[in-house]
Amino acid sequence: MVKSKKPEQNLRPLESFDDSKKKLRQIFMNLASDIAESKPPVLRIPVRTASNTVYDEHRQILTLGERMSERRFNDISEVRSFMQTLLLARGIYEALQHDDHPTIRDLYYYTLHTIEGTNIETFNSQDESNNIFQDIEVMTGLLREQMGVVAESRGALVGEIVLQSKGNKIDCSKFGIGAFNIPSLCDQIQIVSVDADYVLVVEKDAIFQRLNDYEFWRRNKCVLITGKGQADRATRRMVRRLNEEWGLPVYVLTDADPFGWYIYSTYRAGSISLSYESFRLACPDAKFLGLTMTDLEKYEVPKDHLIKANEMDIKRAKELLVRDPKTKKPRYPWFYESKRWRQEIHLFLDRRVKAEIEAKSSKGFRFLSDVYLPEKLANKDWII
Amino acid sequence: MVKSKKPEQNLRPLESFDDSKKKLRQIFMNLASDIAESKPPVLRIPVRTASNTVYDEHRQILTLGERMSERRFNDISEVRSFMQTLLLARGIYEALQHDDHPTIRDLYYYTLHTIEGTNIETFNSQDESNNIFQDIEVMTGLLREQMGVVAESRGALVGEIVLQSKGNKIDCSKFGIGAFNIPSLCDQIQIVSVDADYVLVVEKDAIFQRLNDYEFWRRNKCVLITGKGQADRATRRMVRRLNEEWGLPVYVLTDADPFGWYIYSTYRAGSISLSYESFRLACPDAKFLGLTMTDLEKYEVPKDHLIKANEMDIKRAKELLVRDPKTKKPRYPWFYESKRWRQEIHLFLDRRVKAEIEAKSSKGFRFLSDVYLPEKLANKDWII
């Protein structure tokens, strides 16, 4: 399945910040009319706790449940967080109006001050402000990037893919040993064309560089992406877009250990603590390509190449199969309900060993790129 | 001082791995001739301890002293590390011969096995192998990258600079909101042209993205680089190359805290534990642009925008002015011998507060890019 170019007129238009401005403005206007009508002003905010995090079986992602909280100006225990929410929302709105793209920290300092005539600070810490910021995200249903707020980013990509940003066409097959550094606001970039059959997400940057050096992406017609460890938001979003906008299957390559599985899990379904992000950042279609525990036997990884699992590994692995004590529902259904994943995790818990992807180099430096990956893909030997 | 293009024939030729192959081969040949002459084979390896780390005042970098150790095959206490050194060196040599660029971990797995007829492993851990790898670096005088060995990388750059890799010209002014992801083996990239007056190194990725978004590099004719926190090797090497090959001054922008100073210090002079790298990675010409402690007053950063220094900060700051108890020499001469730096550090130790670069946003989101940075540069208000 080779993707052809999309004609320019069919390109997904750049996400505009107008909707975000409108949504924020609407919240301000509602409050203003409440006040004009002498109603006590109230903000309605979805509850962000783990107990209000549910697995959406249809979309196969973690998401927030229906529970809402109210934040009232006329309640002495809520007036401070009410003020903070509006203050920060105003900061975001002002930045949008001037086409500025601050970070959450910029917004914190921008809104931090001593309230006139008092010795009270608008925020006592960045933690407080971060928390309010997340409230604004769920209140508006807009993620930070949709409101033009920049976060740290780490990821890189390379392949037969042409991007467009600020009028520049960026051909990601022409970077030699370099790569495209994915920015935080990656929805401000258009994907102009893709000539690839799939996306290969690589946990480790050094493996990404090595596969890029061999031009693995060219020989195997794929887009190569790395989040350099636990994935940042922009890398996850880019993976999701390639899957959603271009229909490319996504395969994830990590070490054979619970940390690698967790990285895969974040790409696939999102994280429990930030489940409200999943609707844009998770990619339920992502498949785990390896390194699997069964690969260790199949590819005869020598015993001395395996690493003894530590307590944290064991704990993590067990957690993946846990049920919530209250709801009795599995906490990670995409692991729990998959026969193949349960086998994988039990095999790990039996053997209590893990392995790094680099262990493949015992059979030669090109074994990973020339034998293991092509074979796994040809045999559809992945885990869903 | 605008840099023009270098004519193609004057481009610095790509570093070839031939020299590395020759050096390794020479070591093997010397041992072979020792054996042929019935001399006991010996490897001579510079000592990598802190006590053999000296500050080269002329080059203004940390470097290794003259002390050498000998590793003998005929000494029962040294034969294992002798074997390991040769085994790993052979792995590096074999990779070079096949144009493979493994990581240190790949090399570990490549050389790890049970020695025939025994139950002894060639390496007991990756730490053991990493240690031997560093011995090979100092023994040959070649850094890992010169031997084609890939490390994780993190940095990104953008600006009026054209690079060349594998026959592709890469124009780093055409990435829109994206950037060029600097690979580990960045000496395999040629710098074809630079139209910039200086290099601005930014500690934080989000600040880098924000300055890129405003096209700060275009308006201020600079190359913008970030190492995303503590700098990785490739970013340091790239900064050094822009300074050395193109004569560009280098300014470093970090938070106002000892961690920021330490990041600056690594760019400038290298690190004590890896002083043998400095000859290629350090950039003694790098100046500290800010955020300085004096800036906090000069730019009237509000008190509530300052953060109380913690014990680790205080400890770090004091360390920067320490003298070695044995040699009585300052441990960080580039701090100790600079009047301006001593003032800065003492001011910090007096006030015991630190500040983040984002604190500048209290005066507006563009204060950093439109006022602070241009003013500091125009007034030459940096610390050497």
Given a contact cutoff of 8 angstroms between Cβ atoms, the answer to whether B305 and B362 are in contact is yes
Cβ-proximal residues to B315 (8 Å cutoff; 6+ apart), any chain: none
pLDDT at residue B349 greater than cutoff 70: yes
Nearest to B384 by CA among B338, B344, B342: B338
Ramachandran sector of residue A320 (left: φ over 0; alpha: ψ -120 to 50; beta: rest): alpha
pLDDT in tens, B32-71: 999 999 999 999 999 998 889 888 889 888 889 999 999 9
Mind listing the domains of chain A with CATH numbers? 18-147 (1.10.10.10), 198-378 (3.40.1360.10)
- Number of H-type helices and E-type strands within chain B: 15, 15
**pLDDT given at position A31:** 96
- What is the rounded average pLDDT for all residues in chain B? 94
| Residue A194, phi then psi, degrees to nearest 5 | -140, 130
Give which of B105, B109, B214, B224 to mutate to test A binding, by max A Cβ within 10 Å: B109
Look up the ipTM and state it.
0.94
Contact A206 B150 (CB under 8 A): yes
**pLDDT given at position A164:** 96
List, by residue number, the catalytic residues of B.
109
Using a CB–CB cutoff of 8 Å, tell me whether B96 touches chain A: no
Q: What SS3 string covers B51-109?
A: HHEEEECCCCEEEECCCEEEEECCCCCCHHHHHHHHHHHHHHHHHHHCCCCCEHHHHHH
Give which of A181, A217, A303 to mutate to test B binding, by max B Cβ within 10 Å: A181
**pLDDT given at position A187:** 96
- The crossing angle, in degrees rounded to 10, of helices A311-319 and A339-351 is 160
Give the C-alpha separation, A221 to A305, whole Å: 31
pLDDT at residue A101 greater than cutoff 50: yes
Given a contact cutoff of 8 angstroms between Cβ atoms, the answer to whether B205 and B227 are in contact is no
Mind giving me the DSSP string for B251-310?
EEE--BSHHHHHHHHHHHH--STTGGGHHHH--TT-EEEE--HHHHHHTT--GGGSEE--
Using a CB–CB cutoff of 8 Å, tell me whether A334 touches chain B: no
pLDDT at residue B144 greater than cutoff 70: yes
- The crossing angle, in degrees rounded to 10, of helices B126-140 and B18-36 is 90
pLDDT at residue A12 greater than cutoff 70: yes
pLDDT at residue A17 greater than cutoff 80: yes
pLDDT at residue A324 greater than cutoff 90: no
**pLDDT given at position A50:** 83
Who among B121, B206, B305 is closest to A103 (CB)? Answer: B206
pLDDT in tens, B152-192: 999 999 999 999 999 999 999 999 999 999 999 999 999 99
- The crossing angle, in degrees rounded to 10, of helices B79-97 and B104-111 is 110
**pLDDT given at position A1:** 46
- Give the DSSP letter of residue B372: I
Give the C-alpha separation, A341 to A382, whole Å: 10
Instruction: Nearest chain B residue to A183 by CA: give it.
Output: B178
Could you tell me the two tokens for B149?
């060995």
Q: Within the 173-202 window of chain A, which residues sit less than 8 Å (CB to CB) from chain B?
A: 174-185, 188-189
- What is the rounded average pLDDT for all residues in chain A? 94
Q: Within the 141-170 window of chain B, which residues sit less than 8 Å (CB to CB) from chain A?
A: 150-154, 156, 163-170
Give the C-alpha separation, A215 to B190, whole Å: 19
Give the C-alpha separation, A358 to A207, whole Å: 8
pLDDT at residue B10 greater than cutoff 80: no
- Burial string for B214-226 (b: 16+ CB within 10 Å, else e) reads bbbbbebbbbbbb
Q: What is the band of A70 on the pLDDT scale with cuts at 50, 70, 90?
A: very high
Given a contact cutoff of 8 angstroms between Cβ atoms, the answer to whether B322 and B256 are in contact is no
List, by residue number, the catalytic residues of A.
109
**pLDDT given at position A3:** 60
**pLDDT given at position B9:** 61
User: What is the arithmetic mean of pLDDT over A281-291?
Assistant: 95
Decide the pairing of beta strands A179-181 and A190-194. Answer: unpaired
β partners of residue B363: none
**pLDDT given at position B1:** 46
**pLDDT given at position B274:** 85
Contact A109 B359 (CB under 8 A): yes
pLDDT at residue B266 greater than cutoff 70: yes
Q: Is the pTM of this model over 0.80?
A: yes
pLDDT at residue B2 greater than cutoff 60: no
Cis peptide before B24 (omega within 30 of 0): no
